Amino acid sequence: MNQPLALTAAQKAGPRLTLAALGAVLAILVALPLLSLLPADNPLQVSAYTLTLVGKILCYAIVALALDLVWGYAGLLSLGHGLFFALGGYAMGMYLMRQTAGDGLPAFMGFLAWTELPWYWYGTSSFLWSMCLVVLAPGLLALVFGFFAFRSRIKGVYFSIMTQALTFAGMLLFFRNETGFGGNNGFTGFSTLLGFGITAPGTRAVLFLATVALLVISLALGWGLARSKFGRVLTALRDAENRLMFCGYDPRGYKLFVWVLSAVLCGLAGALYVPQVGIINPSEMAPTQSIEAAVWVALGGRGTLIGPLLGAGIVNGMKSWFTVAFPEYWLFFLGALFIIVTLFLPKGVIGLLRRKGEQ
């Protein structure tokens, strides 16, 4: 009798503890931008550097969560999520470039001696249309790619390789000056967003809060999906797709839905990343970026919602410290981290925490 009782108590304490920790983190995240608005001589003031760094990591955390939805739940390992992130970023970047250029052409087009905007730039001076592009560009690409990939029943490592090839192709395309997205320099030198100075403390604080809001919404969305029958169908799909088909479910619609949702979340994260970091260029589409995102998820614990967020935070926190302290060893360290996690922490950091909790 005692043991089951103790177990239930632990199970009840678990979520409460998690909720309390989540609440504390959320409170800190909301406080950070407010503290950044304090005068510079105040001891509690948060520097613009810190705020930007944390904001950037939060954007990556959203990517990790989105990747976990398709990898951890549906079993589709994407090694190309950097592409969706970059597309959202470029859509936002187009608007920012138009803001900077005013009535003229963005500066890089001047260097190419272009006299007219390419057709896909039309309307990008409107913030609303640019926000639509942020959703549409990654969403439509994911829809078309997913439609054909899932129809042809491509799965496992073949699917991963195709997504990797897709982001590589995207990178090569965006590197070309003729593509009309600033070539290898990408977009930078932004001045205003909706008329507000992009480096102004107030703008930074609002962008940061928007990122926190998107993260919370993504988390709630993921939570809702994971608890619904849809989430259970995804898990079933991951473990026994054939069985699921003989139960009368068509896997294609399920995969496509979660795949497009994940891509759109990445695009939104990219759109918030660009004004905070101040630059977007094709290196965001580099295959290594997408692989790193998979490391975040694996490290944190896939198939859980908090795990990927932890993973993104830990890896990027370490990265920003390592690349300052021992810049030449970062990639070795990242590799070692991945090996250690695969060998000793198959369920990631979250698995480790849970085991500790049960003891």
Partner 1 sequence: MHATPGHFMLEPAYDPNSGTGTGRDAIGLGRASGPGLDVRHGTLLTLEDINVSFDGFKALRDLTLYIGVGELRCIIGPNGAGKTTLMDVITGKTRPDSGQAFFGESLDLTEMSEVQIAQAGIGRKFQKPTVFEALSVFENLELAQNADKSVWASLRARLSGEQRERIEDVLTTIKLDASRQRPAGLLSHGQKQFLEIGMLLVQDPQLLLLDEPVAGMTDAETEFTAELFKGLAGKHSLMVVEHDMGFVGSIADHVTVLHQGHVLAEGSLEQVQADERVIEVYLGR
Pair of tokens at residue 241: 């797709």
Counting contacts by CB under 8 A, is residue 358 touching partner 1?
no
| 124/262 with CB nearer partner 1 | 262
236 binds partner 1 (CB under 8 A): yes
Residue from 165, 250, 326, 335 that binds partner 1 (CB under 8 A)? 250
Interaction residues for partner 1, span 210-229 (CB under 8 A): 225, 228-229
Q: Which is nearer to partner 1, 107 or 143 (CB)?
A: 143
Q: How far is CA 342 from the centre of its chain?
A: 22
With binding defined as CB under 8 A, does residue 246 bind partner 1?
Answer: yes
Q: Which of residues 270-329 bind partner 1 (CB under 8 A)?
A: none
240 lies in the binding site for partner 1 (CB under 8 A):
yes
- Looking up tokens 């999906």 gives 225
Q: Is 102 in the site for partner 1 (CB under 8 A)?
A: no
Instruction: Between 219 and 293, name the residue whose CB sits nearer to partner 1.
Output: 219
| Alpha carbon 332 to chain centroid, angstroms | 23
Under rule CB under 8 A, residue 7 binds partner 1: no
Name beta bridge partners: 193.
196
230 touches partner 1 by CB under 8 A: yes
Residue 225 CB, nearest distance to partner 1 (Å)? 8
Residue 274 CB, shortest distance to partner 1, in Å, is 31
| Shortest Cβ 250–partner 1 spacing (Å) | 4
Closest CA to 272 of 54, 59, 32, 47: 59
* Residue 155 in contact with partner 1, rule: CB under 8 A: no
Task: By CB under 8 A, tell whether 233 contacts partner 1.
Answer: yes
- 133 versus 297: smaller Cβ distance to partner 1: 297
Sequence-separated (6 or more) residues with CB below 8 Å from residue 189: 100, 107
Q: Out of 24, 27, 110, 151, which residue is the one contacting partner 1 (CB under 8 A)?
A: 151
Dist. CA 298–CA 302, nearest whole Å: 6
Residue 334 CA to residue 320 CA, distance in Å, equals: 12
From 88-96, 119-127, 230-238, 333-341, span contacting partner 1 (CB under 8 A): 230-238
Q: Is 205 helix (H, G, I), strand (E, B) or coil?
A: helix
Torsion sign over Cα 95, 96, 99, 105: negative
Contacts of 300 (CB under 8 A, 6+ apart): 64, 306, 307, 308, 309, 310, 311, 312, 314, 348, 349, 350
> Closest by alpha carbon to 137, among 312, 278, 266?
266
Helix axes 287-300, 348-358, angle to 10 degrees: 10
- The footprint of partner 1 (CB under 8 A) covers 147, 151, 225, 228-230, 232-233, 235-236, 238-240, 242-250, 252-254, 256-257
